[in-house]
Structure 1
Amino acid sequence: MGTARKFNQVLHSELDVHAAWMPVTNTFALGDYGVISDGVFVKMGNIAEYGVTFAPATGAPTKLRFRSDGTRVTRFLAGAEVPNIPQVDLEASIRIEFSTKDSFYIDAPVLTVQSMEDVARVGAALRKAEGWRRKYRVVFSTYAGQGCTIISSREANSAFELSATADVLHLLELGKAQGGITLSGERAAGLEVIGASGVVGLRLFKLRLFTGSTDVLRADSTDDQVEFDTGVDLEDDV
């Protein structure tokens, strides 16, 4: 299984969202549309191209801290193992050991959620838009992480180490680090994001084939739907 598909599985199990791939280093925004390819969303454009607008809203922040089974995390201060890294000016490190390949260490201390408030109205407008295709999926919610650290293993029995002064690593675990961190590893990582901010997850909808009403797509299956009442009498497709 590829890194992208595995990351999508992780976000589904933890947040019930689709992966924004690549995580953090992307330009996804509300209203983007596209298709699912190889298990992940591929952006093609934005619904603004069809003259469709929406009302954005910001939800309560959440967080994501995930370690794959068999992952061991050890912290060191001045060469000695410690339970937590204090905010002091001493050399420190965080060692991450993966026992299996395609394992993940994900630390997103702050996730900000932005969503469309009027999904049903947007769906009804797209239904009438010339050139709109049923296969398109639309981003109606984004999960943006602040100061995210995401590391994955290409191979089993891999180990990686984040090194910096303790005060920098302390801020990293709070999602506030802004650089000065070195990542080293015995083997190449499949994914390396260190203290960066950006979109991590997406929620998507599409239009039903026959009714044109909006279906929220679960991350584990594009056929698992939740229907919104558009309040508009739409003809069924035949």
Structure 2
Amino acid sequence: MGTARKFSKVLHSELDVHAAWLPVTNTFALGDYGVVSDGVFVKMGNIAEYGVTFTPATGAPTKLRFRSDGTRVTKFLAGAEVPNIPQVDLEASIRIEFSTKDSFYVDAPVLTVESMQDVAEVGAALRKAEGWRRKYRVVSSTYAAQGCTIISSREANTAFELNATANVLHLLELGQAQGGITLSGERAAGLEVIGASGVVGLRLFKLRRLTGSTDVLRSDSFDIDYETEGDLEDDV
């Protein structure tokens, strides 16, 4: 299983959404459509091409903090272990130790959800749109993180350190860091996102095979919904 699917499973367990891959460094938006290939949503276009519109709405911000089992996080100020990093102009670090491979550290202090308010109406319009194919999946919600950090381990018993001044790391924990952070480690991380902002998760829907009504793809169905090359013919 690749890193993309592993990260998607993390988001499934925590938010019941699918991974936006690559996380943060993508351009996903509401109304994007495409297919799921090898566990990853692949954008092909936007439903605006079919003349279909929708009503967006933004929910209250939340946060996502996830640590895989066996992950240990330690904070240091001027070489001494501390429970929290204060706002002072001293060198500091956050040490992340993974005891098992394929582990994740995800810290998104600010997570904003934007969603379509009229998914059923959008589905009805797409059902009538010339050229629309039922294999397409549509982005109905985006989960955008502000100043998030994502690190994963390729191997067991690995450690990484986020290094900067305490002022900067304090802002990182608030989702407000603007750079000045370095990542060091004994081995290469599987995924490295440090204090960046962008879309990390997606909620998708498709049209049902027989009725043509909308079917929101939840985490319990997505794992068996991966597309392969042979699955990309239209449903009948």
Tell me the residue number matched to 1:6: 6
Cα offset for 1:223? Answer: 8.5
Question: For the aligned residues, what is the CA RMSD?
Answer: 1.4
Match of 1:33 in 2: 33
- Structure-1 separation of matches of 2:92 and 2:8: 32
Rounded Cα–Cα distance in structure 1 between residues aligned with 2:202 and 2:157: 31
Contact 1:19 1:201 in 2 (8 A): yes
2:135 aligned partner: 135
Q: Helix, strand or coil: the match of 1:21? A: coil
Query: Using the alignment, how far apart are the partners of 1:156 and 1:207 within structure 2?
Result: 42
Hey, what does 1:44 align to over in structure 2?
44
* DSSP-derived class of the 2:126 partner: helix
**Which residue matches 2:168?**
168
CA positional deviation for 1:220: 3.5
Q: Structure 2 counterpart of 1:113, which letter?
A: V
The residue that corresponds to 2:207 in the other structure is 207
Residue type of the alignment partner of 1:132? W
CA distance in 2, matches of 1:91, 1:220: 44
What are the ranges of 5 or more consecutive residues in structure 1 without an aligned counterpart? 226-236
- 1:143-175 deviations in whole A, cap 9, x for unaligned? 000000000011111110000000100000010
CA distance in 1, matches of 2:134, 2:219: 18
Equivalent residue number for residue 234 of structure 1: none
* SS of the residue 2:27 aligns to: coil
The residue type paired with residue 83 of structure 1 is P
User: Where does residue 233 of structure 1 map in the other structure?
Assistant: none
Q: Shift in Å at residue 222 of structure 1?
A: 3.4
Residues 52-94 of structure 1: per-residue CA shift (max 9 Å, x gap): 1111101111110000000000000000000000010000000
Measured in 2, the distance between the counterparts of 1:38 and 1:72 equals 31
Give the alignment of 1:94-133 within 5 angstroms: 94-133=94-133
Give the secondary structure class of the aligned counterpart of 1:30. Answer: coil
Letter in 2 for 1:130: E
- TM-score scaled by structure 2? 0.94
Runs of 4+ in structure 1 over 4 Å off: none
Helix, strand or coil: the match of 1:221?
A: helix
Task: Please give the residue correspondences for 1:76-95 in structure 2 after superposition, counting only pairs within 5 Å.
Answer: 76-95=76-95
Aligned in 2, Cα 1:200/1:213: closer, same or farther, shift over 3 Å?
same
- Checking the alignment, whether the CA contact within 8 Å between 1:217 and 1:223 is kept in structure 2 is no
Separation in 2, partners of 1:224, 1:155: 27
Aligned partner of 1:230 in structure 2 is none
- Paired position in structure 1 for 2:230: none
**Which shifted more, 211-220 or 17-26?**
211-220
Number of equivalences = 227
Q: Give the conservation status (yes or no) of the 8 Å contact 1:154–1:190.
A: yes
Displacement of 1:22 after TM fit?
0.4
